[in-house]
Amino acid sequence: MSGELVTHRGSCHCGKVQFEVSAPAVLEVWHCNCSVCTKKQNHHFVVPEGRFTLLEGSVEYLTTYTFNTHRAKHTFCKVCGVQSFYKPRSNPDGIGVMPHCIDSDTIERMIVREFDGRDWETCIQGSDIVGQSSENNGCD
């Protein structure tokens, strides 16, 4: 998704984990149907790691869950249990951010794309999700 970058500000439910992320106002949001994403309703947009800032004091409230290949790092708040962001298996150089955890009024709209995580190995081959963590993605 291309477009001018804006600063989105977000948090978990209790507010202990807070972040800022630079991304377009029109977000390309991925819906994945793998086992963990289905259970958590993990809808997310991907940005390069350098466009994501965890705000001061937040790190002490994070914990991480991994499974299967242990490449994805599912971080969530130790207090309220909300996952605001994570490190996706598909984008180890990026961050997957949950648009429903954006607190600022900076999202114009979302374009939803499907990712077949149940058949991850096949789907990743035909998907452009990997390129979304490139620094050149999202800005014209």
Hey, what are 37's tokens?
A: 């994403």
Render pLDDT for 7-64 as a digit per residue (tens, 0 to 9). Answer: 999 999 999 999 999 999 999 998 878 777 778 788 889 999 999 999 999 999 999 9
Contact 88, 5 (CB under 8 A): no
Q: What are phi and psi of 124, to 5 degrees?
A: -65, -30
Q: Which pTM was predicted?
A: 0.81
For the chain, report the end-to-end CA distance as a whole number of angstroms: 10
Residue position matching structure tokens 């291309």: 2
Q: What does the pLDDT read at residue 102?
A: 97
Using 50, 70 and 90 to split pLDDT, how confident is the model at 70?
confident
DSSP state of 99: G
Q: What does the pLDDT read at residue 130?
A: 59
